């Protein structure tokens, strides 16, 4: 049987007593901060004092203001203003309702019927602009330009698009009854909702002066999007594409790891991007080593709407000499954000660092000092103006001609 030596027991007792004394001293000075030296006082009480200041102000407003005040709403507005004071257009505070909407926008899998609708309502409902292939809506026969006029017996006339969309969406497996107007005819359709993955990648084989060019359209870097693009790349390679066009026009970016995955489809080895931040360690992201098309002649098609992760891919392909860039200067977003959930269902989405292309270029305007601004962007090898609100066929034709000239 093991027996604790008496001297060891005494040392443990004294140590425990010492901890108790420190705690008592901390409590005392917490109530008497003026007794502490300034340097020590800031360590012990500054955070507590700030918290007390905010809580006291909210309590006084709630109690003394001449009419009732929703303090939760007041706190939300205060946090919105605090983040806005950073002078950073990419940093946001999301109250619970907005955070839920943000999660739906960034999640490529949405519970619903699988349609995209026009941004503005029509006279008697909301108009379908696209039906996602393989979705419940596609299986039910819904078509482009159909107008949804009623949901579960409720008319959509006079309702906003967001209000109508909320009625249509719902939990997977539940049913929704829609009234559809199609070329003046009224149709009733019942659809079972499901999780629908919104495709962000598409492809087709183009022919330019007898040469086969694989055209890859890529709209956003959402979860799993690099795999979607991989499948589309495999498709055009199976059709014996001799060159590639990666269209990143109006691509606002998204997830960093998806950018690394996309660039790695075309770059066999080397650095894709480097990130640095004040509280973030410098991180170098290399190619993943699973390139499908590391040598085919290639063009990246960009415009002023090409931003963030789309610029990471463009910068990596250009710096490695892997592709020519056709279009205009890209947006110039050289910083990245981190989503930080908060108690109560809200969240902060704030800038935490900068990223650098393989050659060490940062695309922001002077980094984060004094606020974050739209930066220089990536300069194209072949400049072609394209209206970002209505991309024309002209830029695509220049891209076809550019990549065709590289095919031997």
Q: Which domain holds residue 259?
A: 201-404
Model pLDDT, residue 104: 59
- pLDDT-derived band at 204 (thresholds 50, 70, 90) equals very high
- What's the CATH code of the domain at 298? 3.90.226.10
Whether the predicted pLDDT of 232 surpasses 60: yes
pLDDT at residue 369, as a whole number: 47
What is the spatial distance between Cα 341 and Cα 362, in angstroms, rounded to a whole number? 28
Q: Are residues 160 and 181 in the same domain?
A: yes
pLDDT surpassing 50 at residue 17: no
The pTM of the full predicted model, rounded to 2 decimals, is 0.69
Confidence category of residue 226, pLDDT binned at 50, 70, 90: very high
User: 337 in a domain, yes or no?
Assistant: yes
The two structure tokens encoding residue 25 = 């001293």
Give the model's confidence band at 160: pLDDT under 50 very low, under 70 low, under 90 confident, else very high: confident
191 CB neighbour count, 10 Å cutoff: 22
In a domain, 68, yes or no: no
> Any bridge partners for residue 189, and if so which?
178
Tokens of 213: 């060019």
Query: What are 20's two structure tokens?
Result: 């108790």
pLDDT tens-digit readout, 190-203: 999 998 877 899 99
Could you say which of 197, 216, 245 is where a domain stops? 197
Q: At what angle do helices 225-238 and 256-263 cross, to 10 degrees?
A: 20
In a domain, 8, yes or no: no
Among residues 203, 318, 328, 331, the alpha carbon closest in space to that of 266 is found at: 318
Choose the final residue of a domain: 171, 197, 223: 197
Q: Are residues 205 and 138 in the same domain?
A: no
**Rounded Cα gap, residues 50 and 320, in angstroms:** 49
| Cα separation, 127 vs 131, whole angstroms | 11
**Do 342 and 210 fall into the same domain?**
yes
Mean pLDDT across the stretch 23-30? 44
What's the CATH code of the domain at 115?
2.30.42.10
Same domain for 267 and 339, yes or no, is yes
The partner residues of 177 in beta bridges, in order of sequence, read 190
Between the two ends of the chain, the Cα-to-Cα distance in Å is: 84
pLDDT at 387: 62
Q: Looking at the domain assignment, is residue 50 inside a domain?
A: no
Interval 249-283: pLDDT, tens: 989 898 999 999 999 999 999 999 999 988 888 99
């Amino acid at each position: 049987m093991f027996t604790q030596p008496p001297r060891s027991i005494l040392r443990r007792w004294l140590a425990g007593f010492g901890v108790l004394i420190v705690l008592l001293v901390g409590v005392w000075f917490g109530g008497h901060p003026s007794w502490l030296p300034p340097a020590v006082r800031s360590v012990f009480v500054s955070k507590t004092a700030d918290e007390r200041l905010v809580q006291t102000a909210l309590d006084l407003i709630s109690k003394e203001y001449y009419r009732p005040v929703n303090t939760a709403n007041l706190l939300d507005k205060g946090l919105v203003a605090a983040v806005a004071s950073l002078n950073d257009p990419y940093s946001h505070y999301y109250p619970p309702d907005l955070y839920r909407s943000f999660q739906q926008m960034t999640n490529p899998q949405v519970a619903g019927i699988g349609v995209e609708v026009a941004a503005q309502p029509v006279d008697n409902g909301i108009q379908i602009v696209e039906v996602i292939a393989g979705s419940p809506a596609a299986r039910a026969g819904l078509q482009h330009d159909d107008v949804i006029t009623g949901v579960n017996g409720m008319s959509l006339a006079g309702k906003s698009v967001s209000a109508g969309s909320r009625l249509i969406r719902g939990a997977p497996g539940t049913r929704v009854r829609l009234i559809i107007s199609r070329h003046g005819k009224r149709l009733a359709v019942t659809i079972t909702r499901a999780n629908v993955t919104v495709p962000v990648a598409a492809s087709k084989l183009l022919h330019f002066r007898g040469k086969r060019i694989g055209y890859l359209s890529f709209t956003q870097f959402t979860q799993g999007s690099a795999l979607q693009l991989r499948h589309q790349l495999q498709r055009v390679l199976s059709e014996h594409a001799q060159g590639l066009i990666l269209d990143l026009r109006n691509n606002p970016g998204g997830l960093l790891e998806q950018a690394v995955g996309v660039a790695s489809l075309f770059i066999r080895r080397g650095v894709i991007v480097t990130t640095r931040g004040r509280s973030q360690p410098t991180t170098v992201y290399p190619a993943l080593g699973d390139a499908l098309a590391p040598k085919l002649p290639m063009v990246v098609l960009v415009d002023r709407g090409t931003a963030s992760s789309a610029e990471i891919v463009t910068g990596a392909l250009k710096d490695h000499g892997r592709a020519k860039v056709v279009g205009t200067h890209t947006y110039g977003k050289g910083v990245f954000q981190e989503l930080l959930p908060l108690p109560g269902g809200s969240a902060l989405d704030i800038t935490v660092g900068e990223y650098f292309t393989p050659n060490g270029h940062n695309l922001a305007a002077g980094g984060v000092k004094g606020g974050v601004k739209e930066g220089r962007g990536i300069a194209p090898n072949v400049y072609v103006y394209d209206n970002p609100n209505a991309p024309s066929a002209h830029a695509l034709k220049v891209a076809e001609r550019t990549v065709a000239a590289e095919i031997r």
